[in-house]
Amino acid sequence: MTNQNVVASDEKSVLSVSWITVSLPNSPLLTLRPVVSVTRKLLKNLETNNGSPKINACWVDSMRASSPTRVNSPMASLSETDKHTSWIARHPSALTMFDQIADASLGKQIVLFLDYDGTLSPIVEDPDRAFMTNEMREAVRDAAEYFPIAIVTGRCYDKVYSFVKLAGLYYAGSHGMDIKGPSKSCTHNKGNHNPVLFQPASEFLPMIEEVYKSLEEKTKSIPGARVENNKFCLSVHFRCVDEKSWDALAELVRSVVNEYPKLKLTQGRKVLEIRPTIKWDKGRALEFLLEALGYANSADVLPVYIGDDRTDEDAFKVLRDRGQGFGIVVSKVPKETNASYSLQDPTEVMVFLRRLVEWKVALLRRR
Protein backbone atom coordinates (compact mmCIF):
# COMPACT_ATOMS: atom_id res chain seq x y z
CA MET A 1 0.00 0.00 0.00
CA THR A 2 1.43 3.37 -0.93
CA ASN A 3 0.61 6.91 -0.04
CA GLN A 4 -0.51 7.79 -3.51
CA ASN A 5 -4.04 8.46 -2.37
CA VAL A 6 -3.01 10.57 0.54
CA VAL A 7 -4.95 13.77 0.67
CA ALA A 8 -2.77 16.78 1.20
CA SER A 9 -4.53 19.25 -1.00
CA ASP A 10 -5.83 21.23 1.91
CA GLU A 11 -2.43 21.83 3.40
CA LYS A 12 -2.86 25.49 2.58
CA SER A 13 -5.69 25.88 5.01
CA VAL A 14 -3.71 23.97 7.60
CA LEU A 15 -0.65 26.11 7.10
CA SER A 16 -2.69 29.24 7.37
CA VAL A 17 -3.38 28.51 11.02
CA SER A 18 0.05 28.63 12.59
CA TRP A 19 -0.69 29.58 16.15
CA ILE A 20 -3.94 29.82 17.98
CA THR A 21 -4.20 31.22 21.46
CA VAL A 22 -7.11 30.06 23.54
CA SER A 23 -8.02 32.12 26.52
CA LEU A 24 -10.01 30.20 29.08
CA PRO A 25 -11.14 32.09 32.16
CA ASN A 26 -9.74 30.59 35.37
CA SER A 27 -7.39 28.31 33.50
CA PRO A 28 -3.93 28.72 32.09
CA LEU A 29 -3.67 30.39 28.72
CA LEU A 30 -3.48 27.63 26.16
CA THR A 31 -1.49 28.16 23.02
CA LEU A 32 -1.84 25.75 20.15
CA ARG A 33 1.44 24.56 18.74
CA PRO A 34 2.11 25.18 15.09
CA VAL A 35 -0.10 22.58 13.46
CA VAL A 36 2.27 22.25 10.50
CA SER A 37 4.49 19.66 12.18
CA VAL A 38 1.46 17.91 13.59
CA THR A 39 -0.15 17.69 10.20
CA ARG A 40 2.93 16.50 8.34
CA LYS A 41 3.43 13.68 10.77
CA LEU A 42 -0.20 12.65 10.59
CA LEU A 43 -0.31 12.88 6.82
CA LYS A 44 2.48 10.34 6.71
CA ASN A 45 0.15 7.90 8.37
CA LEU A 46 -2.75 8.59 6.08
CA GLU A 47 -2.42 5.53 3.92
CA THR A 48 -5.66 4.45 2.40
CA ASN A 49 -7.32 1.31 3.56
CA ASN A 50 -8.07 -1.41 1.08
CA GLY A 51 -10.64 0.39 -1.04
CA SER A 52 -13.04 -2.48 -1.56
CA PRO A 53 -16.42 -1.42 -0.16
CA LYS A 54 -17.88 -4.42 1.58
CA ILE A 55 -20.74 -4.92 3.94
CA ASN A 56 -20.51 -7.74 6.38
CA ALA A 57 -23.05 -10.28 5.19
CA CYS A 58 -24.59 -10.38 8.65
CA TRP A 59 -24.76 -6.65 9.19
CA VAL A 60 -28.53 -6.39 8.90
CA ASP A 61 -28.92 -9.16 11.47
CA SER A 62 -26.41 -7.36 13.64
CA MET A 63 -28.36 -4.12 13.34
CA ARG A 64 -31.56 -5.91 14.26
CA ALA A 65 -30.10 -7.74 17.19
CA SER A 66 -28.80 -4.68 18.92
CA SER A 67 -27.47 -1.27 18.41
CA PRO A 68 -24.95 -0.83 19.87
CA THR A 69 -23.58 -4.37 20.05
CA ARG A 70 -24.45 -6.09 23.26
CA VAL A 71 -22.20 -8.50 25.01
CA ASN A 72 -22.90 -12.08 24.00
CA SER A 73 -21.10 -15.14 25.25
CA PRO A 74 -19.83 -16.09 27.75
CA MET A 75 -22.56 -14.18 29.56
CA ALA A 76 -25.36 -15.39 27.29
CA SER A 77 -26.72 -17.67 29.95
CA LEU A 78 -26.85 -14.99 32.63
CA SER A 79 -30.02 -13.09 33.40
CA GLU A 80 -30.28 -9.52 32.14
CA THR A 81 -29.76 -8.20 35.66
CA ASP A 82 -26.68 -10.33 36.18
CA LYS A 83 -25.31 -9.24 32.83
CA HIS A 84 -25.78 -5.62 33.75
CA THR A 85 -24.23 -6.08 37.19
CA SER A 86 -21.24 -7.84 35.69
CA TRP A 87 -20.84 -5.14 33.02
CA ILE A 88 -21.10 -2.29 35.55
CA ALA A 89 -18.45 -3.97 37.66
CA ARG A 90 -16.09 -3.70 34.69
CA HIS A 91 -17.30 -0.28 33.49
CA PRO A 92 -18.50 1.51 36.64
CA SER A 93 -20.51 4.70 36.52
CA ALA A 94 -18.37 7.79 36.03
CA LEU A 95 -20.60 9.46 38.64
CA THR A 96 -19.96 6.76 41.23
CA MET A 97 -16.25 6.92 40.41
CA PHE A 98 -16.15 10.70 40.18
CA ASP A 99 -13.72 11.16 43.09
CA GLN A 100 -11.25 8.74 41.53
CA ILE A 101 -11.45 10.56 38.20
CA ALA A 102 -10.99 13.92 39.92
CA ASP A 103 -8.02 12.62 41.93
CA ALA A 104 -6.37 11.31 38.76
CA SER A 105 -6.61 14.76 37.22
CA LEU A 106 -4.83 16.63 40.03
CA GLY A 107 -1.95 18.60 38.56
CA LYS A 108 -3.15 17.87 35.06
CA GLN A 109 -5.26 19.71 32.52
CA ILE A 110 -8.51 17.87 31.80
CA VAL A 111 -9.42 18.01 28.10
CA LEU A 112 -12.96 16.91 27.27
CA PHE A 113 -13.92 15.16 24.05
CA LEU A 114 -17.68 14.84 23.58
CA ASP A 115 -19.62 12.93 20.94
CA TYR A 116 -22.91 14.61 19.98
CA ASP A 117 -25.77 12.22 19.11
CA GLY A 118 -26.72 10.01 22.04
CA THR A 119 -24.21 11.82 24.26
CA LEU A 120 -25.24 15.48 24.33
CA SER A 121 -28.60 14.92 22.62
CA PRO A 122 -31.09 12.06 22.72
CA ILE A 123 -31.25 9.71 19.73
CA VAL A 124 -34.33 10.69 17.71
CA GLU A 125 -35.98 9.37 14.57
CA ASP A 126 -35.39 12.53 12.54
CA PRO A 127 -31.65 13.32 12.59
CA ASP A 128 -32.44 16.96 11.81
CA ARG A 129 -34.24 17.26 15.14
CA ALA A 130 -31.55 15.90 17.45
CA PHE A 131 -31.52 19.06 19.52
CA MET A 132 -29.64 19.41 22.76
CA THR A 133 -31.44 21.05 25.66
CA ASN A 134 -30.62 24.53 26.86
CA GLU A 135 -29.58 22.98 30.17
CA MET A 136 -27.08 20.75 28.38
CA ARG A 137 -25.75 23.69 26.35
CA GLU A 138 -25.30 25.64 29.60
CA ALA A 139 -23.45 22.70 31.18
CA VAL A 140 -21.10 22.41 28.18
CA ARG A 141 -20.52 26.18 28.10
CA ASP A 142 -19.76 26.28 31.83
CA ALA A 143 -17.37 23.33 31.51
CA ALA A 144 -15.61 25.08 28.61
CA GLU A 145 -14.67 27.88 31.00
CA TYR A 146 -12.33 25.47 32.80
CA PHE A 147 -11.48 22.73 30.32
CA PRO A 148 -10.77 22.73 26.56
CA ILE A 149 -13.69 20.90 24.90
CA ALA A 150 -13.87 19.23 21.49
CA ILE A 151 -17.12 17.98 19.97
CA VAL A 152 -16.22 14.85 17.99
CA THR A 153 -19.03 13.65 15.74
CA GLY A 154 -20.00 11.93 12.52
CA ARG A 155 -22.10 14.97 11.66
CA CYS A 156 -20.75 17.65 9.39
CA TYR A 157 -19.40 20.72 11.14
CA ASP A 158 -22.19 23.04 9.99
CA LYS A 159 -24.90 20.72 11.26
CA VAL A 160 -23.38 20.02 14.65
CA TYR A 161 -22.53 23.70 15.12
CA SER A 162 -26.18 24.56 14.40
CA PHE A 163 -27.12 22.27 17.30
CA VAL A 164 -24.39 23.20 19.80
CA LYS A 165 -24.06 26.92 18.98
CA LEU A 166 -20.93 27.41 21.11
CA ALA A 167 -18.05 29.18 19.36
CA GLY A 168 -15.50 28.59 22.11
CA LEU A 169 -15.13 24.88 21.43
CA TYR A 170 -13.15 22.71 19.05
CA TYR A 171 -15.21 20.75 16.54
CA ALA A 172 -14.12 17.55 14.82
CA GLY A 173 -16.96 16.93 12.35
CA SER A 174 -17.38 14.20 9.74
CA HIS A 175 -15.80 11.58 12.04
CA GLY A 176 -12.85 13.85 12.69
CA MET A 177 -12.22 14.70 9.02
CA ASP A 178 -13.18 18.33 9.51
CA ILE A 179 -11.39 19.80 12.52
CA LYS A 180 -11.96 23.41 13.45
CA GLY A 181 -10.63 25.44 16.34
CA PRO A 182 -12.45 27.80 18.65
CA SER A 183 -13.31 31.27 17.52
CA LYS A 184 -11.07 33.77 19.27
CA SER A 185 -13.71 36.46 19.47
CA CYS A 186 -16.22 35.09 21.94
CA THR A 187 -17.46 31.90 23.51
CA HIS A 188 -21.11 31.99 22.52
CA ASN A 189 -22.51 33.51 19.38
CA LYS A 190 -24.63 32.65 16.40
CA GLY A 191 -21.74 32.95 13.99
CA ASN A 192 -19.97 30.10 12.39
CA HIS A 193 -16.43 31.27 11.82
CA ASN A 194 -14.27 28.77 13.63
CA PRO A 195 -10.96 28.40 11.77
CA VAL A 196 -10.05 25.18 9.98
CA LEU A 197 -7.27 23.21 11.67
CA PHE A 198 -7.20 20.07 9.58
CA GLN A 199 -9.19 18.48 6.76
CA PRO A 200 -7.45 15.26 5.72
CA ALA A 201 -10.05 14.22 3.13
CA SER A 202 -10.79 17.37 1.14
CA GLU A 203 -9.75 15.69 -2.11
CA PHE A 204 -12.76 13.40 -1.75
CA LEU A 205 -15.36 16.17 -1.66
CA PRO A 206 -16.42 16.02 -5.37
CA MET A 207 -16.71 12.24 -5.17
CA ILE A 208 -18.77 12.34 -1.98
CA GLU A 209 -21.09 14.92 -3.54
CA GLU A 210 -21.57 12.71 -6.61
CA VAL A 211 -22.41 9.66 -4.51
CA TYR A 212 -24.77 11.75 -2.39
CA LYS A 213 -26.77 12.79 -5.43
CA SER A 214 -26.86 9.25 -6.75
CA LEU A 215 -28.00 7.82 -3.41
CA GLU A 216 -30.61 10.52 -2.92
CA GLU A 217 -32.13 9.67 -6.28
CA LYS A 218 -32.00 5.89 -5.93
CA THR A 219 -33.25 5.66 -2.35
CA LYS A 220 -36.45 7.51 -3.23
CA SER A 221 -37.91 4.08 -4.05
CA ILE A 222 -37.59 2.96 -0.40
CA PRO A 223 -40.00 4.72 1.99
CA GLY A 224 -38.34 6.21 5.04
CA ALA A 225 -34.81 5.97 3.64
CA ARG A 226 -32.82 9.08 4.36
CA VAL A 227 -29.42 10.14 3.06
CA GLU A 228 -27.58 12.72 5.13
CA ASN A 229 -24.72 14.66 3.62
CA ASN A 230 -22.03 15.06 6.27
CA LYS A 231 -19.63 16.76 3.87
CA PHE A 232 -16.69 14.33 4.11
CA CYS A 233 -18.93 11.31 4.61
CA LEU A 234 -22.53 10.26 3.99
CA SER A 235 -25.02 8.56 6.29
CA VAL A 236 -27.88 6.40 5.03
CA HIS A 237 -30.42 6.18 7.84
CA PHE A 238 -32.47 3.01 8.35
CA ARG A 239 -34.32 4.16 11.46
CA CYS A 240 -37.54 5.07 9.62
CA VAL A 241 -37.40 2.24 7.06
CA ASP A 242 -39.57 -0.87 7.43
CA GLU A 243 -37.26 -3.70 8.51
CA LYS A 244 -38.49 -5.76 5.56
CA SER A 245 -36.78 -3.26 3.26
CA TRP A 246 -33.45 -3.11 5.10
CA ASP A 247 -31.81 -5.75 2.92
CA ALA A 248 -32.96 -4.01 -0.26
CA LEU A 249 -31.70 -0.65 0.97
CA ALA A 250 -28.36 -2.11 2.00
CA GLU A 251 -27.96 -3.77 -1.39
CA LEU A 252 -28.80 -0.52 -3.14
CA VAL A 253 -26.22 1.38 -1.12
CA ARG A 254 -23.62 -1.31 -1.71
CA SER A 255 -24.24 -1.28 -5.47
CA VAL A 256 -23.66 2.49 -5.63
CA VAL A 257 -20.57 2.51 -3.41
CA ASN A 258 -19.07 -0.45 -5.29
CA GLU A 259 -18.44 1.91 -8.18
CA TYR A 260 -16.11 3.99 -5.99
CA PRO A 261 -13.14 1.95 -4.77
CA LYS A 262 -11.79 4.95 -2.86
CA LEU A 263 -14.85 4.91 -0.61
CA LYS A 264 -15.79 2.40 2.04
CA LEU A 265 -18.92 1.43 3.94
CA THR A 266 -19.16 1.19 7.70
CA GLN A 267 -22.09 0.37 9.95
CA GLY A 268 -23.39 2.49 12.80
CA ARG A 269 -26.57 2.59 14.84
CA LYS A 270 -29.29 1.90 12.24
CA VAL A 271 -27.13 3.68 9.74
CA LEU A 272 -24.72 2.83 6.95
CA GLU A 273 -21.91 5.30 6.47
CA ILE A 274 -19.88 5.99 3.36
CA ARG A 275 -16.41 7.37 3.99
CA PRO A 276 -13.10 7.93 2.23
CA THR A 277 -10.74 4.99 2.57
CA ILE A 278 -8.15 6.99 4.47
CA LYS A 279 -7.06 5.79 7.88
CA TRP A 280 -8.70 8.52 9.85
CA ASP A 281 -11.24 8.23 12.62
CA LYS A 282 -12.28 9.78 15.92
CA GLY A 283 -9.21 8.31 17.59
CA ARG A 284 -6.89 10.03 15.12
CA ALA A 285 -8.84 13.25 15.61
CA LEU A 286 -8.32 12.97 19.37
CA GLU A 287 -4.58 12.49 18.86
CA PHE A 288 -4.43 15.43 16.46
CA LEU A 289 -6.19 17.73 18.91
CA LEU A 290 -4.06 16.66 21.87
CA GLU A 291 -0.93 17.31 19.82
CA ALA A 292 -2.24 20.65 18.55
CA LEU A 293 -2.93 21.65 22.15
CA GLY A 294 0.67 20.83 23.04
CA TYR A 295 -0.02 17.60 24.92
CA ALA A 296 1.39 15.07 22.44
CA ASN A 297 3.92 13.54 24.80
CA SER A 298 2.85 15.28 27.95
CA ALA A 299 2.01 13.69 31.28
CA ASP A 300 0.27 16.90 32.31
CA VAL A 301 -3.01 16.15 30.58
CA LEU A 302 -6.03 13.99 31.37
CA PRO A 303 -8.13 13.46 28.24
CA VAL A 304 -11.71 12.35 28.94
CA TYR A 305 -13.72 11.10 25.96
CA ILE A 306 -17.49 10.55 26.29
CA GLY A 307 -19.44 8.81 23.52
CA ASP A 308 -22.08 6.21 22.81
CA ASP A 309 -21.34 4.89 19.35
CA ARG A 310 -19.22 2.19 17.77
CA THR A 311 -17.17 4.92 16.09
CA ASP A 312 -16.24 6.29 19.53
CA GLU A 313 -14.47 3.03 20.30
CA ASP A 314 -11.52 4.17 18.14
CA ALA A 315 -11.01 7.06 20.56
CA PHE A 316 -11.49 4.87 23.65
CA LYS A 317 -8.84 2.54 22.27
CA VAL A 318 -6.40 5.41 21.70
CA LEU A 319 -6.75 6.40 25.36
CA ARG A 320 -6.26 2.79 26.50
CA ASP A 321 -3.19 2.41 24.30
CA ARG A 322 -1.75 5.69 25.60
CA GLY A 323 -2.50 4.63 29.16
CA GLN A 324 -3.75 8.14 29.65
CA GLY A 325 -7.16 9.56 30.49
CA PHE A 326 -10.52 7.81 30.50
CA GLY A 327 -13.11 6.70 27.99
CA ILE A 328 -16.70 6.93 29.20
CA VAL A 329 -19.32 5.02 27.21
CA VAL A 330 -22.92 6.26 27.25
CA SER A 331 -25.15 3.20 27.37
CA LYS A 332 -27.96 1.68 29.39
CA VAL A 333 -27.20 -1.79 28.14
CA PRO A 334 -24.06 -3.90 28.39
CA LYS A 335 -21.95 -3.61 25.25
CA GLU A 336 -18.44 -4.42 24.21
CA THR A 337 -16.32 -1.36 24.81
CA ASN A 338 -12.81 -0.07 25.35
CA ALA A 339 -14.15 2.59 27.70
CA SER A 340 -13.22 2.54 31.38
CA TYR A 341 -16.41 4.00 32.78
CA SER A 342 -20.05 4.41 31.80
CA LEU A 343 -22.91 6.87 32.00
CA GLN A 344 -26.48 5.85 31.24
CA ASP A 345 -27.76 8.68 29.06
CA PRO A 346 -27.28 12.35 28.09
CA THR A 347 -28.83 13.47 31.37
CA GLU A 348 -26.08 11.69 33.30
CA VAL A 349 -23.52 13.24 30.93
CA MET A 350 -24.88 16.66 31.91
CA VAL A 351 -24.68 15.81 35.63
CA PHE A 352 -21.09 14.64 35.14
CA LEU A 353 -20.13 17.90 33.38
CA ARG A 354 -21.71 19.94 36.17
CA ARG A 355 -19.88 17.97 38.83
CA LEU A 356 -16.61 18.56 37.02
CA VAL A 357 -17.23 22.31 37.11
CA GLU A 358 -18.28 22.27 40.79
CA TRP A 359 -15.19 20.27 41.68
CA LYS A 360 -12.90 22.63 39.74
CA VAL A 361 -14.45 25.74 41.28
CA ALA A 362 -14.04 24.30 44.78
CA LEU A 363 -10.45 23.36 43.99
CA LEU A 364 -9.62 26.87 42.78
CA ARG A 365 -11.24 28.43 45.88
CA ARG A 366 -9.05 26.35 48.17
CA ARG A 367 -5.91 27.74 46.54
Residue numbers at the binding site for Mg ion (CB under 5 A): 115, 117-118, 308-309
User: How far from 246 is each of 227, 241, 266, 268, CA to CA, in Å?
Assistant: 14, 7, 15, 14
H helix runs in the chain, sequence order = 11-15, 35-44, 59-65, 80-90, 98-104, 134-144, 157-164, 205-218, 246-257, 282-292, 313-322, 346-366
**Residue number with CB closer to Mg ion (117 or 348):** 117
**Residue number with CB closer to Mg ion (55 or 123):** 123
Q: How far is the CB of 209 from Mg ion (least distance, A)?
A: 24
237 touches 225 (CB < 8 A): yes
Backbone angles phi, psi at 9, to 5 degrees: -65, -20
Q: How far is the CB of 211 from Mg ion (least distance, A)?
A: 23
115 in catalytic set: yes
Q: How far is the CB of 160 from Mg ion (least distance, A)?
A: 11
**Residue number with CB closer to Mg ion (20 or 315):** 315
User: How far from 99 is each of 93, 112, 352, CA to CA, in Å?
Assistant: 11, 17, 11
Name every residue whose Cβ is closer than 8 Å to that of residue 41 and which is 6 or more positions away in sequence: none
200 touches 177 (CB < 8 A): yes
Per-state percent for the chain, helix, strand, coil, to nearest 5: 40, 20, 40
Q: How far is the CB of 236 from Mg ion (least distance, A)?
A: 16
Q: How far is the CB of 87 from Mg ion (least distance, A)?
A: 19
**Residue number with CB closer to Mg ion (115 or 291):** 115
Given the residues 10, 61, 115, 300, select the one marked as catalytic.
115
**Residue number with CB closer to Mg ion (120 or 301):** 120
Catalytic residues: 115
